[in-house]
Amino acid sequence: MKIDISYLSEPRDFEVLYEALSNAYDRGYHGILAIDLSDCRFIAVPGHMALITAGRFWHQLTGQPISLMNIAPDIHAYIDRMLILDRCSKYIQIAEDLTLEKGFLRSAATVKLLEVTSIASEVKKNVCDVEAVVRQANRILHTWFPNSEERVGGLLTVLAAITENVVHSQDQGFVMIQRYQTLGDALGSRVDIVITDLGIGIEESLRPRVETMSVPERQLLFPKGSDYLIYALKQGVSRRATGGGMGLHQVKELVGQWHGQLLIRSLASKISIDERGTVIQEDLLTYVPGTQVVFRVWGSWLASDMALC
């Protein structure tokens, strides 16, 4: 069975992908699912995260991978460069026997991006994974922003927070970072940090805290699923057993300070915060287990000018 995906740029495109996948399963198809990308000219990092999420979800449902077909050469080269096929081979395959004509160079000196990196949920392994990814990102970010410790520190704060949160998911997470040079002077560059897991979701991870509330209080605070995501962003929310609960609040604060964007999707709900601070909640989406987070900021990232617009 094949599904056609023309765009994987915006969050609404990801919903098209998830819905198509869910429909295919509901119709009784449980084999390798082909994703036709013939109309897709560019996929940003959140789109690749959506593909990984879809691939893992399909594999979880059927035991089979998704298979990407009719991929543009640039996209193929990028997928290869990001090690998506290498590290997610169980979930994502390439349909045709493509020859990678022009690969992107990869070497120890290549520091333009953080390839897809696995983050464990088991506590001890999570420490090692988070430390390793923060260490690598620290090196990368210092080459991107050599004169801006504040920006580097803030981005590392976001990265540490969302990767450590994988512990609560009880599932493996995958994280990526990419910097894009945008056209036009107004925006400068863009940095995307994305993470995905197929774990228990934010609502379930807040259960120890929520269970201490009375039923009326719970009904008042959480009439819908996305209200759990809003709650998770509040300062001082504690997962009582672990004492945590600050990470997403810090991420939200930095999004606000830097006029960035934040998207958090968990199970069948989503919240998005745009650069003006407007919060949109969406519910009754296609159910996809786990949590996906997209953090995005823009700025004039020239070495001599660290001012953000």
Partner 1 sequence: MVSAGYAEVIKQKIIELSFTKIAGEAGRKGDLLVTREAGREIAAHLTSLLLGKSADTCMILDFADVEFMDASFADEVFGNLVVARSRRQLEPRCFFLRDLNETCLFNLRACLDSRPNREDQLLRNSFVPVIVNANTIEFVGKYENHIFETFELLKKRKIITTHDVMDAFSVSMPAASTRLKGVYDLGLAIREEIRDEQGMQYKYYWPL
- 308 touches partner 1 by CB under 8 A: no
Residue 92: which H helix or E strand, with range?
A: strand 92-94
Query: In this chain, which stretch among 28-36, 46-54, 119-127, 172-180 interacts with partner 1, using CB under 8 A?
Result: 119-127
Member of 68, 82, 88, 130 binding partner 1 (CB under 8 A): 130
State how far the Cα of 217 lies from the Cα of 200, in Å rounded to an integer. Answer: 23
What's the closest the beta carbon of residue 240 comes to partner 1, in angstroms? 9
In this structure, are strands 288-299 and 189-197 parallel, antiparallel, or unpaired? antiparallel
Nearer to partner 1, 213 or 246 (CB): 246
Query: For 287, how many CA atoms within 13 A lie in the half-sphere containing its CB?
Result: 7
122: which residues sit within 8 A by CB, 6+ positions away? none
Using CB under 8 A as the binding rule, whether residue 235 contacts partner 1 is answered as yes
- Which CB atom, from 65 or from 299, has the smaller least distance to partner 1? 299
Task: Tell whether residue 127 is a contact of partner 1 (CB under 8 A).
Answer: yes
Is 203 within 8 Å of 274 (Cβ atoms)?
no
Packing angle of the helix pair 45-62, 11-26 (nearest 10 deg): 10
Is 124 a residue that touches partner 1 (CB under 8 A)? Answer: yes
211 is a site residue for partner 1 (CB under 8 A): no
Residue 150 makes contact with partner 1 by CB under 8 A: yes
Q: Please, which residue, 20 or 140, has the CB nearer to partner 1?
A: 140
Should residue 250 be labelled a site residue for partner 1 when binding is judged by CB under 8 A? yes
Residue 86 found at the interface with partner 1 (CB under 8 A): no
Looking only at residues 253 through 272 of this chain, which bind partner 1 when binding is defined by CB under 8 A?
A: 253
Cα(172)–Cα(176) distance, rounded to whole angstroms?
A: 14
Kindly state the smallest distance separating residue 143's Cβ from partner 1, in Å: 15
How far, rounded to the nearest angstrom, does the alpha carbon of residue 208 sit from its chain's CA centroid? 25
Is residue 267 classed as helix, strand or coil in its secondary structure?
strand
Choice from 121, 126, 205, 292 touching partner 1 (CB under 8 A): 126
270 Cβ contact list (under 8 Å, min separation 6): 11, 226, 229, 263, 264, 281, 282, 283, 285
Per CB under 8 A, the list member of 2, 135, 207, 218 interacting with partner 1 is: 135
CA distance 86 to 89: 6
Is 28 a binder of partner 1 (CB under 8 A)?
Answer: no
Answer for which of 107, 243, 276, 278 binds partner 1 (CB under 8 A) is: 243
Q: List residues near partner 1 by CB under 8 A.
A: 123-124, 126-127, 130-131, 134-135, 138, 149-150, 152-154, 156-157, 160-161, 164, 235-238, 242-247, 249-250, 253
